[in-house]
Chains A and B, each alone.
Chain A
């Protein structure tokens, strides 16, 4: 089985010469010397590469919206602010093969004719920061970055920006505000960043996993990318499992493996004495899937059809010793804390759900609280808030009310959390 993304991951990672020795920077040479920018975009579009940050939007399509004839600076940004609770895939790529990411950024920047690029890295990833800083310096020395790359008239600068916290920075327009030195609140769309992004200039923001894939698509083509997958969503994908399983971890697998394969085969099944109850398939802001979904194909289409989202592809398992109400309370406390406070439904609604859930945990819940919680799922749902944070927060809540309703009702009836003696 081919594992293009992770085959050359080592700790410490390959230096520039070692990376070149395994075929590194061939895609940058091929693209910049022998391809037109629009042909790179067309190739990525043809491959049907869907963004690996969580939303799954077509990467080539996103690039094709950039007004190429607009004079002046354009920006490419790598979103390395991995902060979705339960997600640990980008850390692997950042620490294990920084040159792959940098090459992907160079090729992607060339496709949109960006003049400057940034890696927006979260504060906590100290090792990644060191490795990326080192790799960028090496790439400058070797002439892959800077003026007249590889003797062509294409020039690109690259900077590393390390953040100072806040989940909101992962939202692309909030990330732009943060890069501009401001509070990380989201911007109104339109205008979309591809027209008016960083400092009002055309800007593309892509995820680490997406950008790291680009060199392989340029080297091997769209048909090869499609052939790696078991479904119409092409490529391989980094999947992860955490929680009470025997072998928590992350693996690069064909897009479209089933949840059963992931949990039973790769994660080694549930730990002794723990029973599977459900899973957040792609991070904190995705709806629960349960036992009946075990054979769902984990691609964008399959998970959506099951009523959730592939999200980041890293799942968190809920076991039978963990209280579902406490579990969802932990999530809503996170979202309430991380709300940027800019729009009212999110700022006021999320703390309310958090408090209701906490009251349930303390045994102070009332029957009508469940209706209030359910109402929030709608009131804070898509279309009612300024950005996707609150709708994302409502996904695990609404699905927990559906799949674990008995647990919620028990808390009210017994006037305590049945999981705590």
Chain B
């Protein structure tokens, strides 16, 4: 069930658009902000409030790579795997990250601390290679620096 706060925020988004279903992405974002991911129940709740079918809401949710339909860790690592980073040392960064975390893309560490995901170009190509942890951007990264970056997140 949606919390009062989630409901209020979604209702506010609904008032800004001409048809209820136009608030679908905003509603999914709101649920995810509160719970870190969107469960099947979350999909049904959003569908109810927007008067859509759960299938239609899920078709939107699964289209976008930053709406998470599986549980994720406390921190999300988005590693840029696009062309400038590829040229500037992405493969070594990726190898080191996989080794440090002991997980592959799409997985979460057993302690629930990190989820590792690839991400298309982060738009900071003059400072490649780059990654984001949650809202923080790290640029010009060498594999040796990864350990101290990860240490900032508990």
Binding site for B on A (CB under 8 A): 82-88, 90-91, 122-126, 159, 162-167, 178-184, 199, 240-244, 248-250, 280, 284, 314, 316-319, 322, 326-327, 330-331, 334, 337-338, 340
Contact A86 B64 (CB under 8 A): no
Q: Cα distance A113–B26 when bound, in Å?
A: 27
- With a CB–CB cut-off of 8 A, which chain B residues contact A159? 16
Contact B119 A124 (CB under 8 A): yes
With both chains docked as a complex, state the minimum distance between the C-beta of B86 and any C-beta of chain A, in angstroms.
5
Question: Which of A164, A180, A248 lies in contact with B28, CB distance below 8 A?
Answer: A164
- With a CB–CB cut-off of 8 A, which chain B residues contact A123? 66
With both chains docked as a complex, state the minimum distance between the C-beta of A225 and any C-beta of chain B, in angstroms.
27
Question: Which of B25, B81, B125 lies in contact with A240, CB distance below 8 A?
Answer: B125
With both chains docked as a complex, state the minimum distance between the C-beta of A284 and any C-beta of chain B, in angstroms.
6
Q: A164-B66, A280-B83, A284-B82 are in contact. Are A181 and B121 (CB under 8 A)?
A: no
Q: Cα distance A123–B66 when bound, in Å?
A: 8
Least CB separation from A123: chain B residue? B66
Interface residue B17 (Cβ < 8 Å from any Cβ of A): yes
- With a CB–CB cut-off of 8 A, which chain B residues contact A122? 123
Given contacts A125-B123, A164-B64, 15 further A-B contacts (CB under 8 A): A82-B123, A83-B120, A86-B121, A91-B123, A164-B28, A164-B66, A164-B67, A178-B25, A181-B22, A182-B21, A182-B24, A242-B126, A243-B87, A284-B121, A317-B87
Contact A242 B84 (CB under 8 A): yes
Contact B66 A284 (CB under 8 A): no
- With a CB–CB cut-off of 8 A, which chain B residues contact A314? 125
Least CB separation from B125: chain A residue? A242
Interface residue B95 (Cβ < 8 Å from any Cβ of A): no
Contact A199 B18 (CB under 8 A): yes
Q: A87-B121, A178-B25 are in contact. Are A249 and B17 (CB under 8 A)?
A: no
Least CB separation from A321: chain B residue? B87
Question: Which of B16, B29, B65, B87 lies in contact with A316, CB distance below 8 A?
Answer: B87
Q: Which of B84-98 contact A (CB under 8 A)?
A: 84, 86-88
Q: A85-B83, A86-B125, A126-B135 are in contact. Are A184 and B120 (CB under 8 A)?
A: no
Binding site for A on B (CB under 8 A): 16-19, 21-26, 28-29, 59-60, 63-67, 78, 81-84, 86-88, 119-128, 132, 135, 137
Q: Cα distance A363–B17 when bound, in Å?
A: 54
Q: A124-B78, A330-B82 are in contact. Are A181 and B26 (CB under 8 A)?
A: yes
- With a CB–CB cut-off of 8 A, which chain B residues contact A241? 126
Q: Cα distance A184–B24 when bound, in Å?
A: 13
- With a CB–CB cut-off of 8 A, which chain A residues contact B127? 248
8 contacts between A and B (CB under 8 A): A126-B135, A166-B65, A180-B22, A181-B17, A181-B26, A327-B86, A330-B83, A334-B120
Q: A124-B78, A181-B22, A182-B60 are in contact. Are A83 and B65 (CB under 8 A)?
A: no
User: Ordered nearest first, which 4 A-B pairs have the shortest CB separation?
Assistant: A181-B24, A242-B125, A248-B126, A85-B82
Contact A85 B22 (CB under 8 A): no
Contact A85 B28 (CB under 8 A): no
With both chains docked as a complex, state the minimum distance between the C-beta of B152 and any C-beta of chain A, in angstroms.
16
With both chains docked as a complex, state the minimum distance between the C-beta of A358 and any C-beta of chain B, in angstroms.
14
Contact B83 A86 (CB under 8 A): yes
Contact B126 A319 (CB under 8 A): no
Q: Cα distance A172–B28 when bound, in Å?
A: 22
Q: A124-B122, A338-B120 are in contact. Are A85 and B84 (CB under 8 A)?
A: yes
With both chains docked as a complex, state the minimum distance between the C-beta of B93 and any C-beta of chain A, in angstroms.
14
- With a CB–CB cut-off of 8 A, which chain A residues contact B135? 126
Q: Cα distance A152–B19 when bound, in Å?
A: 30
With both chains docked as a complex, state the minimum distance between the C-beta of B39 and any C-beta of chain A, in angstroms.
17
Least CB separation from B90: chain A residue? A330
Contact B126 A240 (CB under 8 A): yes
- Residue in B16, B28, B83, B132 whose Cβ sees the most chain A Cβ within 10 Å: B83
- With a CB–CB cut-off of 8 A, which chain B residues contact A87? 121, 123, 125
Q: Cα distance A334–B67 when bound, in Å?
A: 19
- With a CB–CB cut-off of 8 A, which chain B residues contact A83? 120-121, 123
Q: Cα distance A247–B81 when bound, in Å?
A: 21
- With a CB–CB cut-off of 8 A, which chain A residues contact B67? 164-165
- With a CB–CB cut-off of 8 A, which chain B residues contact A280? 83
Question: Which of A124, A180, A242, A330 lies in contact with B128, CB distance below 8 A?
Answer: A242
